[in-house]
Chain A
Amino acid sequence: MYVAVKGGERAIDAAHDWLAEERRGDQAIPELTVGQIEGQLSLAVDRVMAEGSLFDRELAATAIKQARGDLIEAIFLVRAYRTTLSRFGYAEPVDTEKMAVKRRISAAFKDLPGGQVLGPTFDYTHRLIDLGLAEPGLEVEGAAPPPDDPAAPAHDDLMSPPRVVALLDDEGLLEQERPGPGDGDPGDITRQPLSFPADRGERLQALARGDEGYLLSLGYSTQRGYGRTHPFAGEIRHGAVAVEYVPPELGFPIVVGEIEVTECQLINQFAGSRERPPQFTQGYGLAFGHGERKAMSMALVDRALRSEELGEEIGAPAQDQEFVLAHADNVQATGFVEHLKLPHYVDFQSELELIRKLRDRWETPGQSEMRAEAAE
């Protein structure tokens, strides 16, 4: 049990003043603007939006500034902020096939309608630190606009290419996702706490806001053999999608804005079961912003969590939905881990007394049988 303490207001105020000073850093260097963070640390902003589970670039950038770049602290701030806002309602599902793609690749299919579009990617860079970036003004050299490709298709195929996994639809060799009865009628874990077993919709929601590092490690574990998956990156796409919402006073859908998302469709071998023929199955990842590592990790873990549905043997950590989902939220996790540093003086005092009593009995002559027990 946690027993509260009081006092220390002056020291706490002074600590927070010092925190503000540390956040500002060297006064001789200009202060960071939120716009700079939004524009130049955009992937940090994306991660805070994804795991903060609130799409608002300026808000996420402000949280990063306030948190001194501690992204989990920034995510915590965003989560706290969202509790102050009312919920107007639920949007229509985004149509990712109509995404205005900046990037779209497939590692399984070489020739695609619309082609492979690399977009702004770290892939194929040499991971050598560009020391030119440390000297302001020198980096503009690399900022030349990419050359136009006059042969590129001008039509919508490039802008919103057709979905890759649909290419094998005719042969039935690749599982196609279709809406079930009631269109999923998805549970909302922000309204109804997760209970187990969780359905696919609740699992995807929990994974979408889950910690990237945690999902990365779990996904990695499935690749190393803890829950066998043999995935191919069927398609990874990143770009903007329109969000439509039906206001009750209008009764028809309207676009309220565009959000950037990253989508990953992994295709996995499936040997078949009594009910289902051998075919490729899917793991799915979708994340706010440009978060390929997140979307891919999510897809690996989503597929691992489908083991039961597909009648596969279950034994690996990534296939255990209670273990995976109950520990995926980094705000919950950091709250419970970090609460250990708050004063626990009363708890500790009572345990100290207990240990003292046990020690006294242990040291008292004639208690040797207890000593023997303890040694076993």
Chain B
Amino acid sequence: MIETVDTIEDRARTAGTDTAARQRWMAVLACAAPEDIALLWKTVVAPSAPAVDYLRPAETGMVMTRGRAGGTGDRFNLGEMTVTRCSVRLGDGSVGHAYVAGRSKRHAEMAAVLDALLQSPGSRARIQRGVIDPLAARQAARREEQRRKAAGTRVEFFTLVRGDD
């Protein structure tokens, strides 16, 4: 039987990885621009690129986004977004998954390989330091810049009492 992403027991294999930490790096990789990942990839990953087995080659599809009535009530379907996913296995057996917004296959492939490398004790620290931390810092800087711009447009309205006499 051909082993696919649906037949492997990923949950058991990654039981050793802290789920919260994995959620954090997967979020950073999903929210990063593919060009930014590619740039770090070139220096941090490419020199010792692992052998990659594609369990599920990158494919683009959609996820239906949802909101809540009134922001806090019942769920409703807002509209779809494009998402590209990919699953890989490295030589040491670690399995990486990626679901990233947009249609870039390269983005999903890099994110899946990095997810696998981040689960391998041998490469985790190097990838965290060399890829995730710089991407996270860039994202934090972008948020901070937006916060500063927003602060610049904060306004105090005063209610004026109109007297007719």
Contact call A255/B150, Cβ cutoff below 8 A: no
Across the interface, A205 reaches (CB within 8 A) one of B77, B150, B159, namely B77
Which of B23-31, B43-51, B117-125 lines the interface with chain A? Answer: B23-31
Q: B152, A146: Cβ atoms under 8 Å? A: yes
Give bound CA distance, A243 to B31, whole Å: 10
Set of chain A residues within 8 Å of B66, measured between Cβ atoms: 90-94, 186
Contact residue among B19, B73, B100 (Cβ-Cβ distance under 8 Å from A177):
B73
Question: Contact at A254–B70, with CB atoms within 8 Å?
Answer: no
Distance from A78 Cβ to chain B, minimum over Cβ atoms (Å): 10
Q: Which residue of A lies closest to B139 (CB)?
A: A258
Question: Within 8 Å of chain B (Cβ to Cβ): is A232?
Answer: no
Contact with B along A124-157 (1 / 0, CB 8 A): 0000000000000000000001111100111000
Once the chains bind, are B150 and A117 in contact (CB under 8 Å)? yes
Write out the residue numbers on chain A whose beta carbons fall within 8 Å of the beta carbon of B62.
54, 82, 85-88
Contact bitstring B64-95, A, C-beta under 8 A = 1, else 0: 11111111111111111111010100000000
**B161 interfacial contact with A, CB 8 Å:** no
- State how many angstroms separate the Cβ of B14 from the closest Cβ of chain A: 8
For chain A residues 154-190, which have a beta carbon within 8 Å of chain B? 154, 158-159, 163, 165, 175-180, 183-186, 188-190
Within 8 Å of chain A (Cβ to Cβ): is B42? no
Which of the residues A146, A165, A254, A282 comes within 8 Å of B23, measured between beta carbons? A254
- Among listed A17-25, A97-105, A365-373, interface-contacting one: A97-105
Given contacts A148-B151, A188-B64, A255-B30, is CB(A201)–CB(B74) below 8 Å?
yes
Whether the Cβ atoms of A288 and B103 lie closer than 8 Å is no
Q: Which of B11, B23, B81, B103 has the most A CB atoms < 10 Å from its CB?
A: B81
Q: In the complex, A49→B78 CA distance in Å?
A: 11
User: Which chain B residue shows the least CB distance to A242?
Assistant: B27
Contact A256 B99 (CB under 8 A): yes
A255 to B139, CA, bound (A): 14
By the criterion CB–CB under 8 Å, are A252 and B19 in contact? Answer: yes
A51 to chain B, nearest CB (A): 9
B57 part of interface (Cβ distance < 8 Å): no
Query: B162 on the interface (CB 8 Å rule)?
Result: no
A97/B31 contact (C-beta < 8 A), A92-B66, A159-B147, A186-B77 known: no
Q: Chain A contacts of B64 at CB under 8 A?
A: 87, 89-91, 188, 190
Any B CB within 8 A of the CB of A276:
no
Give 1 or 0 for each of B131-158: 1 = CB within 8 Å of chain A CB. Answer: 0000000000001001111111111110
If A102-B150, A149-B152, A177-B68 touch, whether A256 touches B83 (CB-CB below 8 Å) is yes
Known: A53-B79, A119-B153, A256-B101. A184 touches B27 (CB 8 A): no
> Could you say which residues of chain B place their CB within 8 Å of the CB of A307?
none
Which residues of chain A have C-beta atoms less than 8 A from B27's C-beta?
A: 242, 254-255
Q: Is the CB of A176 within 8 A of B19?
A: no
Contact A201 B69, CB 8 Å, known A56-B103, A88-B99, A255-B23: yes
Is A115 interfacial (CB-CB < 8 Å)? Answer: yes
**B74 close to A253 (CB less than 8 A):** no
Q: Does A208 contact B (CB under 8 A)?
A: yes
- Residues A288 and B151 in contact in the complex (CB < 8 Å), given A55-B65, A163-B71: no
Closest to B159 in A: A110
Q: Could you tell me the distance in whole angstroms from the C-beta of B106 to the nearest C-beta in chain A?
A: 14
Residues in chain A near residue B83, CB distance under 8 A: 88, 245, 256-257
Of all chain A residues, which has the CB nearest B143? A100
Say yes or no: B31 contacts A265, CB within 8 Å: no
Q: Return the contact of A89 from the options B63, B71, B102 (Cβ within 8 A).
A: B63
Counting chain B CB atoms within 10 Å of each CB, the highest count among A49, A85, A200 belongs to A85
User: Residues of A contacting B148 with CB < 8 Å?
Assistant: 148, 152
B4 to chain A, nearest CB (A): 10
**Using Cβ atoms and an 8 Å threshold, which residues of chain B touch A87?**
61-64, 80
Q: Is the CB of B103 within 8 A of A205?
A: no
Is there an interface contact between A186 and B75, defined as CB atoms closer than 8 Å?
yes
Q: Does A96 contact B (CB under 8 A)?
A: yes
Distance (whole angstroms) from the CB of A146 to the closest CB of chain B: 4
Partner of A178, one of B63, B73, B78, B143: B73
Given A91-B66, A93-B75, A258-B101, output 9 extra A-B contacts at Cβ < 8 Å.
A85-B62, A116-B155, A118-B155, A148-B151, A158-B150, A184-B69, A185-B75, A257-B81, A284-B71
Residues of A at under 8 Å CB distance from B?
Answer: 49-50, 53-56, 58-59, 82, 85-94, 96-97, 100-103, 110, 115-121, 145-149, 152-154, 158-159, 163, 165, 175-180, 183-186, 188-190, 200-202, 204-205, 208-209, 242-243, 245, 247, 249-259, 261, 263, 265, 282, 284, 286, 288
